[in-house]
Amino acid sequence: MSLDEFNGPLSTKVYLVLKNAILSLTYRPGEIIRKGEICEKLRVSRSPVSEAITKLATEGLVDVIPQAGTFVSRFSMDEIREGAFLREALELAAVELVATTITDEQLVLLRRNLRVQQALVDDGDYAGFYQMDTELHGLIQSFTGFKRLGQFAESSWVQVNRARQLILPSSGRIQETVNEHQNIVDAIAARNPEKARKAMLDHLRQLIKHLEPLETERPELFTLESGN
């Protein structure tokens, strides 16, 4: 993505470009990040790049190793499980509440999102689907009326968000995800908080179920956890 796609100070734009590249796996886990190359590609000085990398390091997305360089952080199953646990608690509470307060106008937005999701899946547009997937969850969170909920959810989900890029292109998984989203929206539309909570739980648990085998299948992408 280019700097023009983001707003804010230059260092913020550089940060968002790099974060997007890391979350989308354009930069792979373990890959070295060379400041000079980034400066050349984005046509910026080293200062905003250094500021962006410092911020990414605080989020656990890069590892800055003295005398060695800056590397994209490898996945950690411990961090992924922790993030999934925190996001699950937030999402279940949110969908349960929204199922009791949803308006007809809000329901239109959810259903419209689902139609776009299906169209993107039919076209094989994984990147577009990923954006709409994120938007659906964001809509549900925003419908609670709690302004900081989305921020908390995003920060707890960042490592899981990155890791799930590995499984979305897998055969059948994207269509399964759309079907799970449909179940969630149907339960919300029925104003059934218990059913909505169960549909969301089933959806979120599928993600971890698909991610856990990757630690064995793709060990080069994961850090060795203490005690392993």
pLDDT > 90? residue 2: no
Q: Cα separation of 39 and 62, whole Å?
A: 17
pLDDT of residue 158: 87
pLDDT of residue 1: 65
In this predicted structure, which of 41-55, 101-115, 145-159 has the lowest mean pLDDT? 145-159
The class (CATH top level) of 77-217 is mainly alpha
pLDDT of residue 227: 42
| Token code pair at residue 191 | 């104003």
For residues 52-75, give the mean pLDDT: 93
pLDDT of residue 63: 95
* pTM strictly above 0.95: no
Classified by CATH at the fold level, domain 3-72 comes out as: Arc Repressor Mutant, subunit A (1.10.10)
Q: Where are the domains of the chain?
A: 3-72, 77-217
pLDDT in tens, 104-147: 999 999 999 999 999 999 998 988 898 899 999 999 999 999 99
Scanning the chain, the segments in alpha helix (DSSP H) are 10-23, 35-42, 46-58, 77-101, 104-123, 126-142, 149-163, 173-189, 193-211, 214-217
Torsion of CA 206, 212, 221, 155, to 10 degrees: 50
For residues 92-112, give the mean pLDDT: 98
pLDDT > 90? residue 173: no
Q: Give me the chain's average pLDDT, please.
A: 91
pLDDT in tens, 4-33: 888 889 999 999 999 999 988 899 999 999
Residue 57 banded pLDDT, cuts 50, 70, 90? very high
